[in-house]
Amino acid sequence: MLSGIMTSITSWYMANINYGTVTLLMIIESSFIPFPSEIVVPPAAYKAANGDLNIYLVILFSTLGAIIGALINYYLAFFLRETFMSKFVSSRLGAFFLLDEKKVQQAERFFLKYGNLSTLIGRLVPGIRQLISLPAGATKMPIFPFLLFTTIGATIWNIILAVLGYYLYGQKELLDKYYHELSVVFLLVGVLFFFYMVFSAYKKKTV
């Protein structure tokens, strides 16, 4: 069912690519509804390459959509955090993960310490970029740095997708190859950053 909905949305988008639909689908992509940005930005960039759109405006509106979607997640977590976390921690699933209020508070302090870099890098990591706004909102990360690093990360990612779409959209195998390689690179960066944070926390405890 979900794949059918995705196919319908993609087909509709391909027939109606403009700045408004780019913004709309990037809002969806960056909020709690998973929708891959590689379906949104490269086709719009390809239309720009053919003179139907402006490449700079494609990047601008895709980034605007990403910011709006990120804010949706941020404020959902910001306002619902207390209710959700208290229920989750006291649930059987929370007990299965050995969670308690103290561990949740430690995790929040951990994110607050590395929140700026986490938000920036998280916007570049596949499977994480849609979710990184949730811990930012749950820990009440200040809105200005959240917006700043979300904007930087989203802009970098959208520029990459736009360049790939602008030059390679007609060459699907090559486009998929470069996208896969970039995804692996950013995933490795995310993993290395995670281990750096863990190592830093461990080192601080042993000092």
Task: Tell me: pLDDT of 33 over 60.
Answer: yes
The dihedrals phi and psi of 167, each to the nearest 5 degrees, come to -100, -25
Banded pLDDT at 111 (limits 50, 70, 90): low
Task: Tell me: pLDDT of 197 over 80.
Answer: no
d(CA 51, CA 3): 31
Task: Tell me: pLDDT of 10 over 70.
Answer: yes
Please give the residue that has the higher pLDDT: either 36 or 85: 36
Q: What is the pLDDT of residues 74-100, one digit of tens each?
A: 898 888 776 665 665 566 655 554 545
Spatial CA neighbour of 44 closest among 65, 11, 68, 21: 21
Q: What is the pLDDT of residues 157-176, one digit of tens each?
A: 999 899 988 887 766 665 56
Banded pLDDT at 194 (limits 50, 70, 90): low
Sequence letter at residue 182: L
Quote the mean pLDDT of the chain. Answer: 77
Q: What local confidence, expressed as pLDDT, does residue 8 receive?
A: 81
State the burial class of residue 58 (Cβ atoms within 10 Å of its Cβ: 0-12, 13-18, 19+): buried
Q: What local confidence, expressed as pLDDT, does residue 97 receive?
A: 45
The dihedrals phi and psi of 33, each to the nearest 5 degrees, come to -100, 115
Query: Which pTM does this prediction carry?
Result: 0.77
